[in-house]
């Protein structure tokens, strides 16, 4: 398989590290208790940092010792592939169209345990491809070969693609931008997914300002602890590599 290189930065920001520990632990617990392996990461609107978060989360899970497949599910605007490679690579659109086999679309990365499934070449009708039996076949194959499968999807309020992906995977995470995405938008997207019988795992608050994040945990003396609680839930001790300037935390409040 062709080696792909992630543009990954070593980030020593403890807030970012612990935030992804929390999110990775959430994914791990659901995998352990409910056997959930396939996840969609989506957002209300474009530009909320969903792709950066998807890449960082995939790296975090891979560092925990699990085999992870990151799928660029945005066949209209392949942002993940633009970050990972300057060249066009055959992938999701080509597989769903029957042009290539599953193994031909999967690439290794420079991150141990992390594999990448590109969005593919130009696609005129993504909805038609996602509604095909071949898409369910892809999910089944990915589920049998990897511990976790993450789909980076388009924004929910823009096109129908994300709705189709969310209704076919086992759980969905909604990424929202702190201080930007309105509660009205979040509730509308939540209802939209519920009408599709999609399993909403939770909401991830992204682009949180450092001083706001620190204030959230200050009463717990959180930043003075040498070892985070969630590290104990992971499969093995990991090193931290993060995409630059990404901060996320799970929003525990119910919508």
Angle in degrees, CA 162, 52, 228, rounded to 5? 115
How do strand 106-109 and strand 114-117 relate by DSSP bridges? Answer: antiparallel
CATH number at residue 215: 3.40.50.300
Q: What pLDDT is stored for residue 72 in this prediction?
A: 93
Phi–psi pair at 52, nearest 5 degrees: -60, -40
Residue 243 scores a pLDDT above 60:
no
How many structural domains are present in the chain?
1
More confident residue, 181 or 145: 145
Count of C-beta atoms within a 10 Å radius of residue 38: 21
Give pLDDT tens digits for 106-144: 988 888 999 999 998 878 899 999 999 999 999 999 999
251 — pLDDT class (breaks 50, 70, 90)? very low
Task: State the average pLDDT over residues 142-153.
Answer: 96
Residue 140 domain boundaries: 3-251
Please identify which residue in the block is written with the tokens 């193994």. Answer: 103
Its pTM stands at: 0.77
Could you give the CA distance from residue 42 to residue 165 in angstroms, rounded to a whole number? 10
- Quick one: three-class SS letters along 123-138? CCCHHHHHCCHHHHHH
Lowest-pLDDT choice from 7-21, 103-117, 177-191: 7-21
| Strongest mean pLDDT among 9-23, 59-73, 179-193 | 59-73
Question: Which of 166, 208, 218 lies closest to 44 in space, CA to CA?
Answer: 166
Least confident of 51-55, 75-79, 178-182, 187-191: 75-79
Quickly state the pLDDT bin for 13 (edges 50, 70, 90). low
- Average pLDDT (165-193) is 89
Tokens 């791990």 correspond to what residue?
A: 28
Q: DSSP characters for 38-72?
A: EEEEEESSTTSSHHHHHHHHHHHHHHTT--EEEEE
Q: In this model, does residue 172 exceed pLDDT 60? A: yes
pLDDT tens per residue across span 228-242: 433 443 444 343 333
pLDDT, mean of residues 15-28:
80
Q: What tokens appear for 84 in the block?
A: 């990972």
């Amino acid at each position: 398989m062709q080696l792909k290189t992630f543009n990954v930065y070593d980030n020593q920001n403890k807030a970012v590290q612990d935030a992804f520990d929390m999110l990775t632990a959430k994914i791990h617990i659901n995998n352990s208790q409910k056997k959930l392996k396939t996840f969609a990461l989506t957002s209300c609107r474009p530009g909320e940092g969903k792709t950066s978060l998807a890449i960082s989360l995939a790296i975090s899970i891979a560092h925990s010792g699990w085999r992870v497949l990151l799928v660029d599910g945005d066949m209209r605007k392949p942002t993940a592939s633009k970050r990972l490679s300057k060249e066009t690579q055959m992938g999701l659109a080509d597989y769903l169209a029957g042009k290539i086999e599953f193994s031909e679309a999967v690439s290794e990365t420079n991150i141990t345990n992390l594999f990448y499934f590109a969005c593919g070449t130009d696609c005129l009708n993504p909805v038609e491809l996602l509604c095909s039996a071949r898409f369910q076949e892809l999910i089944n194959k990915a589920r049998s070969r990897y511990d976790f499968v993450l789909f980076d999807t388009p924004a929910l309020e823009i096109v129908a693609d994300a709705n189709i992906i969310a209704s076919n995977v086992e759980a969905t995470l909604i990424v929202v931008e702190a201080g930007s995405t309105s509660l009205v938008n979040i509730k509308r997207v939540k209802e939209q997914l519920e009408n599709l019988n999609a399993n909403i795992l939770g909401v991830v608050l992204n682009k949180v300002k450092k001083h706001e994040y620190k204030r959230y945990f200050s009463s717990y003396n959180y930043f003075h602890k040498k070892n985070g609680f969630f590290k104990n839930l992971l499969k093995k001790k990991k090193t931290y590599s993060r995409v630059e300037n990404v901060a996320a935390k799970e929003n525990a409040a119910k919508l």
